[in-house]
Amino acid sequence: MTTMADSQIDLFSSYPEWTAFLAHEHGFQEEAHHREIATRLDLVCRGEIERLMILMPPGAQMSTYVSHWFPAWYLRHGNVHNSVQIAARTLLSEQHSRLAQEIAVKYAGAPPPRQLGFWDLGAAAACHHRGMDGIFLGLRADLALIEQPYNSYLEAQSAAFRDAVYAWYREVLCCRLLPGARIVLAMSRHHEDDLSGHLLREEHGQWSVLTIPESALAHYGLSAT
């Protein structure tokens, strides 16, 4: 039997509509930057943006909109089969996985997950969560969500680490994406030559970029943490 929880995600026609509902459910007020993030991600889901970069300070619910709420919406509405959500380390990816799984089970009719780091919506629609230090062998995806590829400010200051992250993107991630796959990179900038800087130079004109400065967050009483 189909319950309200099974079909609730299908009551909304766009990702911004659904995030407004979830924000109300979770007891916080959506601000302009939240709505802009949701709007851009909706365009990714509709196929109007293939590569999206979200650049903003931490502490303003970027993870909520990108890593926790978007995977279920994308798998339900994006006409795709597999997505992969990636964080700098496996531990953070597992934290994202738990929260994304809770949303998928409660609102999208996903079966209870059998393992941490993987859940599905039936058929071939599945979400894999990996740290950049995780195993990608055998994984193919229509969507890659990359959030905070650096664990800390100090990592972003290391030229060797920045080069390693860019090499991982080119040699590991890109080899695992299916033709026409979409990529979302959401991160805070700590160095001009970080992953976003590399991509804006090497893949100039291929990315839609949403930049939210700290001054915009301060307008709503928020600040970087």
Provide the whole-model pTM. 0.90
Residue 37 lies in a domain: yes
Number of domains in the chain: 1
Q: What is the pLDDT of residues 18-49, one digit of tens each?
A: 999 999 999 988 999 999 999 999 999 999 99
Check residues 150 and 90 and name the one with the higher pLDDT: 150
Q: Among residues 50, 63, 69, which one has the least CA distance to residue 93?
A: 63
Residue 3 lies in a domain: no
The range of the structural domain enclosing residue 50 comes to: 29-218
Measured N-to-C along each axis, helices 15-25 and 70-77 cross at an angle, to the nearest 10 degrees, of 140
What's the CATH code of the domain at 107? 3.40.50.300
Residue 93 lies in a domain: yes
Tell me how far apart the alpha carbons of residues 181 and 143 are, in angstroms, rounded to a whole number: 5
Residue 70 lies in a domain: yes
The 3-state DSSP composition of the chain as helix, strand, coil percent (nearest 5) reads 45, 20, 35
Task: Say what percent of the chain tops pLDDT 90.
Answer: 57
Residue 133 lies in a domain: yes
Tell me how far apart the alpha carbons of residues 31 and 27 are, in angstroms, rounded to a whole number: 13
